[in-house]
Amino acid sequence: MIWKSLLHFQEIENYEKVVFLTKDSDYNSNYSVEFKAKWYNHFTIVTDEKNFLIKVKKDCEHYIKERAINDYAQTDYLKANL
């Protein structure tokens, strides 16, 4: 049911990438061909928490670093010393 819902969830196209964590084997046996046809490079399935965290950190590393710089740039200390 969840896989079928995701397959037809139109707003998913608003995202650059989706990483889905599941241990459900139903995906491989019933929906992997459909998902690959629709979102081949857009949708990633991982089956354990460790690989999920590795994937998210790798994909978001640039944004995390950029966010830290942006947060620092908004501090009163930096503004006072410019």
pTM, 2 dp? 0.51
Range of the domain at 57: 17-80
- Residue 50 banded pLDDT, cuts 50, 70, 90: very high
Residue at 30 is within a domain: yes
pLDDT for 41: 60
Q: What is the pLDDT of residues 32-46, one digit of tens each?
A: 777 777 766 677 778
Q: Would residue 57 count as lying in a domain?
A: yes
Q: How many domains does the chain have?
A: 1
Is 64 part of a structural domain of the chain? yes
* Residue 8 domain-assigned (yes or no): no
Is the pLDDT reported for residue 1 higher than 60?
no
Instruction: Give per-residue pLDDT as tens, 8-27.
Output: 777 877 777 777 777 776 66
9: left (phi over 0), alpha (psi -120 to 50) or beta: beta
